[in-house]
């Protein structure tokens, strides 16, 4: 049991024997340990060299065990430190190895998965292994996971993994989707909505991404789904950047006291705005002053300013310039 401290079987047996007595002579040790006198002298010399035994001062010469906390714990700590340094070195070597393989073998960067079942398996394993964060693009009409079936999300959220999920507007047209999104938000999911998403996407810890290449038939034909598993590369960096760009333009989703998901109405383009707000935004982006806007719309300046504040709150804009930018990005004007 003490191999980690550098003791062989005989050394451990002799040291354990000496721990049980105040001291013992080589002859007593040989007899009780079942060793030859020559082997006993060899073992004692080894233990003495490791600082595990010392002369007891008896005549004839006797040996006593050095206290274990003094003799063994420092050695174990030094070995533990050495193992940790070796582990860090192996990790660096592994990163170098993977980087070398990726530069010469595209299969190390992108893996193609075919079939909805295989894709579900990858998504579940990704979430089970997630340590920090999951990023999702959720489009309408599922490919591999029906809305509400991703129970792995709740397990990951419970152990502290952050989920940031973007939903496109049409996603909420599917039966039960609003209730499922509300359940996720209550569990800790950070959710936003956008008018449309360019693709389906899942990214774990910014290290691996999954995105279907061929969408398959309606609601995910088991045979036709084909997805790419993308690992550390410029392509993965681009996918992360794509997510962040859409996330910045998303409308935050929240669950009201009545259990309704609020914010989904802000993803539908110009038609989701009241006519007066649509006109006001167009004039604001054109650089028309509040006074002129009020005059053209037949409103008071205070009412114009109140509408502007409401639009800023709705889009998450901190300034009027940001409001104009967000309005253009979301198709509100």
Tens of pLDDT, residues 199-245: 899 999 998 999 888 655 444 454 567 888 998 888 899 999 999 98
Is 133:164 a contact under the CB 8 Å cutoff?
A: yes
CB atoms within 10 A of CB 264: 20
Do 94 and 31 reside in the same domain of the chain?
Answer: no
Do 256 and 115 reside in the same domain of the chain?
Answer: yes
The token duo for 274 is 């009241």
Do 140 and 176 reside in the same domain of the chain?
Answer: yes
Structural domain total, the chain: 4
pLDDT digit string (tens) for 25-81?
A: 888 888 888 889 898 888 888 888 888 888 876 556 888 888 877 777 777 777 777
List beta partners, residue 194. Answer: 168
As a whole number, mean pLDDT of residues 130-148 equals: 82
Q: Which domain holds residue 134?
A: 111-265
Do 62 and 77 reside in the same domain of the chain?
Answer: no
CA of 18: how far to CAs of 9, 47, 146, in Å? 14, 11, 67
Do 124 and 261 reside in the same domain of the chain?
Answer: yes
Do 80 and 117 reside in the same domain of the chain?
Answer: no
- Specify burial of residue 287 (Cβ count, 10 A radius: 0-12, 13-18, 19+): exposed
CA dihedral over 40, 42, 45, 47, signed as positive or negative: negative
CATH code at 255? Answer: 3.30.870.10
The token duo for 276 is 């007066």
Is 136:253 a contact under the CB 8 Å cutoff?
A: no
Q: What is the pTM of this model?
A: 0.51
Do 63 and 81 reside in the same domain of the chain?
Answer: no
CATH code at 313? Answer: 1.10.10.10
Rg, Å, the chain Cα set: 34
Do 64 and 90 reside in the same domain of the chain?
Answer: no
Average pLDDT, the chain: 80
Do 123 and 259 reside in the same domain of the chain?
Answer: yes
């Amino acid at each position: 049991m003490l191999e980690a401290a550098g003791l062989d079987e005989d050394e451990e047996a002799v040291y354990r024997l000496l721990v049980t007595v105040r001291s013992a002579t080589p002859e007593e040790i040989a007899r009780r340990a079942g060793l030859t006198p020559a082997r006993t002298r060899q073992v004692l010399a080894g233990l003495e060299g490791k600082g595990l035994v010392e002369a007891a001062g008896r005549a004839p010469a006797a040996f006593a065990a050095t206290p274990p906390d003094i003799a063994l714990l420092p050695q174990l700590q030094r070995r533990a430190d050495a193992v940790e340094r070796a582990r860090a070195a192996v990790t660096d070597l592994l990163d170098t190895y993977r980087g070398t393989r990726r530069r010469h073998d595209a299969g190390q960067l992108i893996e193609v998965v075919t079939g909805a079942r295989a894709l579900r398996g990858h998504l579940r394993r990704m979430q089970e292994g997630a340590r920090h964060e999951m990023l999702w693009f959720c489009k309408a009409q599922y490919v591999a996971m029906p809305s509400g079936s991703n129970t792995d999300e709740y397990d990951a959220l419970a152990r502290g993994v952050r989920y940031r999920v973007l939903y496109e507007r049409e996603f909420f047209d599917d039966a039960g989707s609003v209730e499922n999104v509300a359940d996720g938000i209550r569990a800790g999911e950070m959710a936003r909505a956008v008018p449309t998403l360019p693709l389906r996407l899942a990214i774990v810890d910014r290290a691996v991404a999954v995105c279907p290449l061929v969408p398959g038939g309606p609601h995910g034909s088991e045979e036709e789904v084909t997805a790419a598993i993308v690992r550390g590369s410029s392509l993965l960096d681009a996918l992360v950047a794509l997510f962040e760009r859409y996330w910045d333009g998303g409308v935050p989703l929240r669950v009201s006291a009545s259990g309704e998901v609020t914010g989904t109405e802000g993803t539908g383009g110009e038609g989701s705005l009241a006519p007066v707000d649509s006109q006001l935004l167009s004039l604001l982006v054109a650089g028309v002053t509040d006074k002129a806007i009020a005059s053209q719309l037949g409103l008071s300046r205070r009412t114009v300013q109140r509408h502007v504040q409401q639009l800023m709150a709705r889009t998450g804009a901190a300034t009027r310039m940001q409001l104009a930018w967000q309005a253009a990005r979301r198709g509100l004007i």
